[in-house]
């Protein structure tokens, strides 16, 4: 097997299991044959924003530890431009990434934005220093954060503004209520939430329409499965962060699903990263993966996963 197709497999530990009889070898999908993001199909946000289900997460365009400037600013801008060339029309970011760096890079690379490009950002976390993430759900802070994001992104309205994380010191109704007011003022088109459980999501939806939930979800961590079920039933987008379980090798070593995933990758002639993204796309029509990278080569590899079509047997083998 071509080692190039497994260059990022170190984050997904585990061996091969005997599921090859369930699936037939397919044509390899490599970084040299990037597929358009449209191959993943589409999803509608809030009833009026149709986007390809292969998005891009802009968190890793910043410096080490999601802090400061990227090591290669020119490459970061190339990644953003290449994502759009490949048909990505949903880019996820946050004011906390950098902080502020990710949003600024997006504007520098892509403004004026092409028609149909959705820039989704988040507020509600502050960064006192590297590796520090502190919730701040005060209405005044969220208003200030949203207005600052509008300026950095050079937007008159943010298509999707997501509440990054609940602040235990502030009732969720107060935080979400402020986003509702910003929506009424025309500064936000749609409201989303991140890192919410079902009960919290229910409370938020009583205050303002919610169109998306962004939670951790991957082959090794399905703790948000109940939230995903709600999203499917209520026609909300589910945006999985950490879609390829970065940093979760210990858990993956014990996951039978991961072993099946690696076998799936070998049969299709792709990396386990690509197989993981394909699994997410096949898992639910509500899923909107946002794999992130600071490398054009890895971006092309990720987007190429939109071409991988899993059978019912393959999906069942991974679980």
SS (H, E, C) the chain: CCHHHHCCHHHCCCCCCCCHHHCCCCCCCCCCCCCCHHHHCEEEECCCEEEECCCEECHHHCCHHHECCCCCHHHHHHHHHHHHHCCCCEEECCCCCECCHHHHHHHHHHCCCCCCCEEEEEECEECCCCCCCEECCCHHHHHHHHHHHHHHHCCCCEEEEEECCCCCCCCHHHHHHHHHHHHHCCCEEEEEEECCCHHHHHHHHCCCCEEEEEEECCCCCCCCHHHHHHHHHHCCEEEEECCCCCCCHHHHHCCHHHHHHHHHHHHHCCCHHHHHHHHHHHHCCCECCCCCCCCHHHHHHHHHHHHCCCCHHHHHHHC
Interval 271-281: pLDDT, tens: 999 999 999 99
pLDDT of residue 90: 98
Task: Please say if the pLDDT value at position 213 is more than 90.
Answer: yes
Tell me the per-residue pLDDT of 106-134, one tens digit each, with 9 for 90 and over.
Answer: 999 999 999 999 999 999 999 999 989 99
What are the catalytic residues?
Answer: 97
* pTM, rounded to two decimals: 0.88
| pLDDT digit string, tens, across residues 14-40 | 333 333 333 334 444 544 444 589 999
Residue 21 confidence (pLDDT): 33
């Amino acid at each position: 097997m071509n080692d190039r197709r497994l260059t990022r497999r170190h984050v997904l530990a585990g061996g091969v299991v005997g599921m090859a009889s369930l699936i037939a070898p397919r044509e390899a999908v490599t970084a040299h044959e990037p597929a358009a993001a449209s191959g993943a199909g589409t999803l509608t946000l809030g009833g009026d924003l149709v986007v390809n289900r292969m998005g891009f997460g802009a968190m890793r365009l910043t410096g080490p530890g999601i802090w400061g400037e990227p090591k290669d600013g020119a490459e970061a801008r190339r990644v953003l431009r290449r994502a759009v060339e490949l048909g990505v029309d949903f880019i996820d970011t946050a004011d906390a990434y950098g902080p502020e760096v990710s949003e600024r890079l997006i504007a520098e690379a892509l403004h004026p934005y092409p028609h149909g490009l959705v820039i989704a950002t988040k507020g509600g976390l502050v960064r006192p220093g590297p590796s520090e993430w502190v919730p701040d759900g005060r209405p005044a802070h969220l208003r200030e954060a949203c207005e600052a994001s509008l300026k950095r992104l050079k937007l008159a309205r943010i298509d999707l503004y997501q509440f990054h994380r609940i602040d235990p010191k502030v009732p969720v109704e107060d935080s979400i209520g402020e986003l509702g007011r910003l929506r009424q003022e025309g500064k936000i088109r749609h409201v989303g939430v991140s890192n919410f459980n079902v009960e919290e999501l229910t409370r938020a939806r009583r205050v303002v329409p919610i169109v998306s939930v962004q939670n951790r979800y991957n082959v090794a961590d399905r703790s948000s499965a109940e939230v995903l079920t709600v999203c499917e039933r209520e026609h909300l987008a589910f945006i999985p962060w950490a879609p390829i379980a970065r940093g979760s090798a210990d858990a993956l070593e014990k996951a039978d699903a991961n072993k099946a995933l690696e076998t799936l990758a070998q049969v299709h002639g792709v990396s386990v990263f690509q197989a993981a993204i394909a699994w997410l796309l096949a898992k639910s029509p509500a899923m909107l993966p946002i794999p992130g990278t600071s490398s054009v080569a890895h971006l092309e590899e990720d987007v190429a996963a939109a071409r991988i079509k899993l059978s019912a047997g393959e999906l069942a083998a991974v679980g």
